Structure 1
Amino acid sequence: MHGEPAVLSVTRYHPENPIKMFLLQPLYAPLLFPNTTSDARDHCANERTFLSWLRLAIYMAIVAVAILVNFHLKNQPTPLERRLSHPMGIIFWVLSLACLVTGLAIYMRTVTKYAKRRALVQTGMKTQAVFLVVSAAIIAACALFLAAEVQASRQGHAGAFDVTFVL
Protein backbone atom coordinates (compact mmCIF):
# COMPACT_ATOMS: atom_id res chain seq x y z
CA MET A 1 0.00 0.00 0.00
CA HIS A 2 2.75 2.47 0.95
CA GLY A 3 5.48 2.09 -1.66
CA GLU A 4 8.65 4.03 -2.15
CA PRO A 5 8.34 7.79 -1.76
CA ALA A 6 8.04 9.61 -5.05
CA VAL A 7 11.27 11.24 -6.23
CA LEU A 8 11.70 12.99 -9.55
CA SER A 9 15.15 12.67 -11.09
CA VAL A 10 16.10 15.68 -13.17
CA THR A 11 18.28 13.49 -15.37
CA ARG A 12 15.07 11.90 -16.67
CA TYR A 13 12.69 14.85 -16.44
CA HIS A 14 14.18 18.17 -17.44
CA PRO A 15 11.72 20.09 -19.55
CA GLU A 16 12.83 23.34 -21.12
CA ASN A 17 10.11 25.28 -19.32
CA PRO A 18 10.79 25.92 -15.59
CA ILE A 19 7.09 25.85 -14.77
CA LYS A 20 6.69 22.38 -16.31
CA MET A 21 9.56 21.04 -14.20
CA PHE A 22 7.94 22.30 -11.01
CA LEU A 23 4.50 20.99 -11.99
CA LEU A 24 5.58 17.40 -12.61
CA GLN A 25 3.38 14.88 -10.83
CA PRO A 26 3.34 14.32 -7.91
CA LEU A 27 3.69 17.95 -6.89
CA TYR A 28 5.14 17.22 -3.46
CA ALA A 29 7.96 15.01 -4.76
CA PRO A 30 11.49 16.33 -4.31
CA LEU A 31 13.65 16.97 -7.35
CA LEU A 32 16.74 14.74 -7.27
CA PHE A 33 19.95 16.19 -8.72
CA PRO A 34 23.17 14.24 -9.19
CA ASN A 35 25.92 15.84 -7.09
CA THR A 36 28.95 15.71 -9.35
CA THR A 37 30.71 19.01 -8.69
CA SER A 38 29.66 21.89 -6.46
CA ASP A 39 25.96 21.35 -7.09
CA ALA A 40 24.93 21.21 -3.43
CA ARG A 41 26.61 24.54 -2.70
CA ASP A 42 25.00 26.12 -5.76
CA HIS A 43 21.52 24.86 -4.85
CA CYS A 44 21.91 26.20 -1.32
CA ALA A 45 22.97 29.57 -2.72
CA ASN A 46 19.94 29.57 -5.01
CA GLU A 47 17.64 28.79 -2.08
CA ARG A 48 19.23 31.57 0.00
CA THR A 49 18.59 33.99 -2.85
CA PHE A 50 14.94 32.93 -2.98
CA LEU A 51 14.63 33.29 0.79
CA SER A 52 16.11 36.80 0.57
CA TRP A 53 13.48 37.78 -1.99
CA LEU A 54 10.82 36.18 0.22
CA ARG A 55 12.05 38.14 3.24
CA LEU A 56 11.96 41.38 1.23
CA ALA A 57 8.41 40.56 0.09
CA ILE A 58 7.32 39.97 3.69
CA TYR A 59 8.91 43.24 4.84
CA MET A 60 7.18 45.11 2.03
CA ALA A 61 3.83 43.52 2.96
CA ILE A 62 4.31 44.53 6.61
CA VAL A 63 5.09 48.10 5.56
CA ALA A 64 2.03 48.08 3.28
CA VAL A 65 -0.24 47.04 6.13
CA ALA A 66 1.34 49.60 8.49
CA ILE A 67 0.79 52.36 5.94
CA LEU A 68 -2.78 51.24 5.21
CA VAL A 69 -3.83 51.29 8.86
CA ASN A 70 -2.03 54.62 9.55
CA PHE A 71 0.14 53.09 12.25
CA HIS A 72 1.47 55.74 14.66
CA LEU A 73 2.88 55.36 18.14
CA LYS A 74 2.56 58.91 19.50
CA ASN A 75 0.38 61.15 17.34
CA GLN A 76 -2.69 60.89 15.17
CA PRO A 77 -2.02 60.80 11.42
CA THR A 78 -2.14 64.11 9.59
CA PRO A 79 -4.73 64.70 6.86
CA LEU A 80 -1.96 64.38 4.25
CA GLU A 81 -0.92 61.02 5.69
CA ARG A 82 -4.53 59.84 5.70
CA ARG A 83 -4.91 60.88 2.06
CA LEU A 84 -1.68 59.14 1.00
CA SER A 85 -2.05 56.00 3.08
CA HIS A 86 -4.30 53.98 0.76
CA PRO A 87 -2.45 54.64 -2.53
CA MET A 88 0.95 54.11 -0.91
CA GLY A 89 -0.21 51.00 0.93
CA ILE A 90 -1.50 49.52 -2.31
CA ILE A 91 1.76 50.41 -4.08
CA PHE A 92 3.79 48.66 -1.39
CA TRP A 93 1.46 45.65 -1.50
CA VAL A 94 1.89 45.36 -5.28
CA LEU A 95 5.65 45.71 -4.88
CA SER A 96 5.56 42.97 -2.26
CA LEU A 97 3.87 40.64 -4.73
CA ALA A 98 6.37 41.68 -7.42
CA CYS A 99 9.25 40.74 -5.11
CA LEU A 100 7.68 37.37 -4.39
CA VAL A 101 7.10 36.62 -8.08
CA THR A 102 10.61 37.78 -9.01
CA GLY A 103 12.23 35.58 -6.37
CA LEU A 104 10.18 32.56 -7.41
CA ALA A 105 10.95 33.12 -11.10
CA ILE A 106 14.69 33.41 -10.44
CA TYR A 107 14.62 30.25 -8.31
CA MET A 108 12.68 28.20 -10.86
CA ARG A 109 14.77 29.40 -13.81
CA THR A 110 18.04 28.64 -12.01
CA VAL A 111 16.92 25.16 -10.91
CA THR A 112 15.91 24.39 -14.48
CA LYS A 113 19.31 25.53 -15.72
CA TYR A 114 21.00 23.39 -13.05
CA ALA A 115 19.07 20.39 -14.37
CA LYS A 116 20.42 21.07 -17.86
CA ARG A 117 23.94 21.79 -16.52
CA ARG A 118 23.80 25.30 -17.98
CA ALA A 119 23.39 27.46 -14.92
CA LEU A 120 24.76 30.96 -15.15
CA VAL A 121 23.89 32.86 -12.02
CA GLN A 122 23.61 36.58 -12.62
CA THR A 123 21.06 39.30 -12.24
CA GLY A 124 19.00 40.16 -15.26
CA MET A 125 17.38 43.38 -16.35
CA LYS A 126 14.00 42.36 -14.91
CA THR A 127 15.51 41.71 -11.49
CA GLN A 128 17.37 45.01 -11.51
CA ALA A 129 14.21 46.84 -12.63
CA VAL A 130 12.16 45.36 -9.77
CA PHE A 131 14.89 46.21 -7.28
CA LEU A 132 15.16 49.76 -8.65
CA VAL A 133 11.39 50.32 -8.40
CA VAL A 134 11.30 48.93 -4.84
CA SER A 135 14.21 51.17 -3.81
CA ALA A 136 12.60 54.23 -5.41
CA ALA A 137 9.30 53.50 -3.64
CA ILE A 138 11.01 53.21 -0.26
CA ILE A 139 12.92 56.46 -0.76
CA ALA A 140 9.79 58.26 -2.01
CA ALA A 141 7.76 57.02 0.97
CA CYS A 142 10.42 58.22 3.40
CA ALA A 143 10.54 61.63 1.70
CA LEU A 144 6.74 61.98 1.67
CA PHE A 145 6.30 61.02 5.29
CA LEU A 146 9.17 63.26 6.37
CA ALA A 147 7.62 66.16 4.45
CA ALA A 148 4.24 65.43 6.05
CA GLU A 149 5.85 65.42 9.48
CA VAL A 150 7.59 68.74 8.82
CA GLN A 151 4.34 70.25 7.53
CA ALA A 152 2.42 69.04 10.57
CA SER A 153 5.03 70.34 12.99
CA ARG A 154 5.06 73.77 11.31
CA GLN A 155 1.27 74.03 11.48
CA GLY A 156 1.08 72.77 15.04
CA HIS A 157 3.88 74.91 16.50
CA ALA A 158 3.28 78.18 14.59
CA GLY A 159 6.42 78.03 12.51
CA ALA A 160 8.72 76.19 14.89
CA PHE A 161 10.79 73.52 13.17
CA ASP A 162 10.31 70.51 15.42
CA VAL A 163 10.50 67.11 13.76
CA THR A 164 9.97 63.93 15.76
CA PHE A 165 10.94 60.59 14.33
CA VAL A 166 9.03 57.51 15.35
CA LEU A 167 11.05 54.32 15.20
Structure 2
Amino acid sequence: MASILGNYGTFDQRTNYVLVDEIGENCNLFLARPLIGPLVFENTASDARDHCANERNFLSWLRLSSYLAIVSVAIMTTFHFTSEPTELEKRIAFPLGLVFWLLAILSLACGVGNYLKTVKQYSRKVALVQSGWKTQLLGAVVAGTVICCCVLFLVNNALNDHE
Protein backbone atom coordinates (compact mmCIF):
# COMPACT_ATOMS: atom_id res chain seq x y z
CA MET A 1 0.00 0.00 0.00
CA ALA A 2 2.61 2.58 0.99
CA SER A 3 6.14 2.49 -0.26
CA ILE A 4 8.87 3.51 2.15
CA LEU A 5 11.70 5.66 0.79
CA GLY A 6 14.67 5.69 3.09
CA ASN A 7 14.27 5.54 6.83
CA TYR A 8 12.39 8.80 7.29
CA GLY A 9 9.74 9.40 4.66
CA THR A 10 6.74 7.47 3.44
CA PHE A 11 4.89 8.30 0.28
CA ASP A 12 1.51 7.07 -0.75
CA GLN A 13 1.35 5.44 -4.19
CA ARG A 14 -0.95 8.24 -5.37
CA THR A 15 1.70 10.86 -4.57
CA ASN A 16 3.47 12.13 -7.65
CA TYR A 17 7.12 12.70 -6.87
CA VAL A 18 10.39 12.94 -8.76
CA LEU A 19 13.11 10.41 -7.95
CA VAL A 20 16.26 12.40 -8.52
CA ASP A 21 18.42 9.32 -9.14
CA GLU A 22 16.28 8.44 -12.19
CA ILE A 23 16.80 11.81 -13.89
CA GLY A 24 19.54 11.95 -16.49
CA GLU A 25 22.55 14.28 -16.33
CA ASN A 26 21.31 16.45 -19.22
CA CYS A 27 17.74 16.84 -17.93
CA ASN A 28 16.81 19.94 -15.92
CA LEU A 29 16.03 18.83 -12.39
CA PHE A 30 13.35 21.47 -11.79
CA LEU A 31 11.50 20.84 -15.06
CA ALA A 32 11.10 17.09 -14.49
CA ARG A 33 7.58 15.72 -14.46
CA PRO A 34 5.46 16.19 -12.38
CA LEU A 35 6.28 19.88 -12.16
CA ILE A 36 4.82 20.44 -8.70
CA GLY A 37 5.91 17.11 -7.24
CA PRO A 38 8.50 16.95 -4.48
CA LEU A 39 12.09 16.02 -5.34
CA VAL A 40 13.04 12.79 -3.58
CA PHE A 41 16.72 12.11 -2.93
CA GLU A 42 18.25 8.91 -1.65
CA ASN A 43 19.13 9.55 1.99
CA THR A 44 22.70 8.34 2.28
CA ALA A 45 25.28 9.72 4.71
CA SER A 46 24.26 13.29 5.61
CA ASP A 47 21.94 14.12 2.71
CA ALA A 48 18.88 14.94 4.82
CA ARG A 49 20.90 17.25 7.06
CA ASP A 50 22.45 18.96 4.03
CA HIS A 51 19.07 19.55 2.39
CA CYS A 52 17.70 21.05 5.60
CA ALA A 53 20.75 23.31 5.85
CA ASN A 54 20.23 24.41 2.24
CA GLU A 55 16.59 25.26 2.95
CA ARG A 56 17.56 27.24 6.07
CA ASN A 57 20.14 29.11 4.02
CA PHE A 58 17.48 30.02 1.44
CA LEU A 59 15.09 31.13 4.17
CA SER A 60 17.81 33.36 5.63
CA TRP A 61 18.26 35.05 2.26
CA LEU A 62 14.48 35.44 1.99
CA ARG A 63 14.34 37.01 5.46
CA LEU A 64 17.16 39.43 4.58
CA SER A 65 15.36 40.37 1.37
CA SER A 66 12.12 41.01 3.29
CA TYR A 67 13.90 43.19 5.85
CA LEU A 68 15.60 45.23 3.13
CA ALA A 69 12.28 45.73 1.33
CA ILE A 70 10.67 46.91 4.58
CA VAL A 71 13.53 49.33 5.20
CA SER A 72 13.14 50.58 1.64
CA VAL A 73 9.47 51.39 2.15
CA ALA A 74 10.19 52.97 5.53
CA ILE A 75 12.85 55.24 4.05
CA MET A 76 10.70 56.25 1.08
CA THR A 77 7.78 57.21 3.31
CA THR A 78 10.25 58.88 5.76
CA PHE A 79 7.96 58.36 8.80
CA HIS A 80 7.61 62.00 9.78
CA PHE A 81 4.19 62.18 11.33
CA THR A 82 4.96 64.80 13.96
CA SER A 83 7.27 67.14 12.02
CA GLU A 84 7.90 68.24 8.46
CA PRO A 85 10.83 66.41 6.76
CA THR A 86 13.94 68.48 6.12
CA GLU A 87 15.13 69.36 2.63
CA LEU A 88 17.94 66.79 2.89
CA GLU A 89 15.47 64.07 3.87
CA LYS A 90 13.19 64.95 0.97
CA ARG A 91 16.09 64.89 -1.48
CA ILE A 92 17.69 61.65 -0.33
CA ALA A 93 14.70 59.49 0.71
CA PHE A 94 13.68 58.22 -2.73
CA PRO A 95 17.16 57.33 -4.08
CA LEU A 96 18.12 55.69 -0.79
CA GLY A 97 14.87 53.73 -0.78
CA LEU A 98 15.61 52.54 -4.32
CA VAL A 99 19.08 51.38 -3.22
CA PHE A 100 17.54 49.27 -0.47
CA TRP A 101 14.89 47.94 -2.87
CA LEU A 102 17.63 46.92 -5.33
CA LEU A 103 19.54 45.20 -2.51
CA ALA A 104 16.35 43.34 -1.55
CA ILE A 105 15.91 42.06 -5.11
CA LEU A 106 19.60 41.10 -5.34
CA SER A 107 19.40 39.24 -2.01
CA LEU A 108 16.38 37.30 -3.17
CA ALA A 109 18.06 36.45 -6.50
CA CYS A 110 21.24 35.35 -4.71
CA GLY A 111 19.26 33.13 -2.33
CA VAL A 112 17.27 31.47 -5.11
CA GLY A 113 20.43 31.02 -7.20
CA ASN A 114 22.34 29.42 -4.31
CA TYR A 115 19.42 27.14 -3.51
CA LEU A 116 18.95 25.92 -7.09
CA LYS A 117 22.69 25.47 -7.66
CA THR A 118 23.07 23.49 -4.44
CA VAL A 119 20.12 21.19 -5.18
CA LYS A 120 21.55 20.48 -8.64
CA GLN A 121 24.91 19.65 -7.06
CA TYR A 122 23.20 17.36 -4.54
CA SER A 123 21.50 15.52 -7.39
CA ARG A 124 24.92 14.86 -8.96
CA LYS A 125 26.37 13.87 -5.57
CA VAL A 126 28.98 16.63 -5.79
CA ALA A 127 30.76 17.69 -2.62
CA LEU A 128 30.26 21.41 -2.07
CA VAL A 129 31.00 24.26 0.27
CA GLN A 130 28.49 27.13 0.63
CA SER A 131 30.83 29.99 -0.01
CA GLY A 132 31.65 32.24 -2.87
CA TRP A 133 32.76 35.70 -3.80
CA LYS A 134 29.28 36.75 -5.00
CA THR A 135 27.70 35.97 -1.64
CA GLN A 136 30.50 37.67 0.27
CA LEU A 137 30.39 40.72 -2.01
CA LEU A 138 26.63 41.12 -1.61
CA GLY A 139 26.95 40.75 2.17
CA ALA A 140 29.67 43.40 2.25
CA VAL A 141 27.60 45.79 0.10
CA VAL A 142 24.52 45.33 2.31
CA ALA A 143 26.57 45.83 5.49
CA GLY A 144 28.31 48.90 4.04
CA THR A 145 25.01 50.41 2.93
CA VAL A 146 23.41 49.88 6.33
CA ILE A 147 26.41 51.43 8.12
CA CYS A 148 26.47 54.43 5.77
CA CYS A 149 22.74 54.98 6.28
CA CYS A 150 23.12 54.82 10.05
CA VAL A 151 25.85 57.46 9.89
CA LEU A 152 23.69 59.57 7.55
CA PHE A 153 20.69 59.35 9.88
CA LEU A 154 22.79 60.19 12.95
CA VAL A 155 24.31 63.24 11.23
CA ASN A 156 20.87 64.34 10.05
CA ASN A 157 19.46 64.04 13.59
CA ALA A 158 22.41 65.96 15.01
CA LEU A 159 21.87 68.78 12.47
CA ASN A 160 18.13 68.86 13.25
CA ASP A 161 18.79 69.07 17.00
CA HIS A 162 21.10 72.09 16.59
CA GLU A 163 18.56 74.04 14.52
- The alignment yields a C-alpha RMSD, in angstroms, of 1.8
The structure with the largest strand share of the pair is 2
Partner of 2:70: 62
Rate the CA distance shift 1:80–1:27 in 2: closer, same or farther, 3 A.
same
Q: Deviations 1:66-88 (Å, cap 9, x if unpaired)?
A: 00111246543222111110000
Q: Which of 139, 142, 146 is equivalent to 1:138?
A: 146
Specify the code of the residue in structure 2 equivalent to 1:88.
L
- Normalised to the residue count of structure 2, the TM-score between the two structures is 0.85
Question: Which structure 2 residues correspond to residues 89-108 of structure 1 after superposition, within 5 A?
Answer: 89-108=97-116
Partner of 2:129: 121
Partner of 1:25: 33
- Normalised to the residue count of structure 1, the TM-score between the two structures is 0.83
Gapped runs of 5+ residues in structure 1?
156-167
Q: Which of 2, 5, 12 is equivalent to 2:15?
A: 5
Q: Deviations 1:57-110 (Å, cap 9, x if unpaired)?
A: 000000000001112465432221111100000000000010001011111111
Q: Distance in 1 between matches of 2:148 and 2:25?
A: 42
**Kept after mapping to 2: 8 A contact 1:14/1:112:** no
**Kept after mapping to 2: 8 A contact 1:16/1:112:** no
Q: Distance in 2 between matches of 1:96 and 1:43?
A: 24
Q: Distance in 1 between matches of 2:19 and 2:136?
A: 32
Q: Distance in 2 between matches of 1:16 and 1:123?
A: 25
> How many residue pairs end up in the alignment?
151
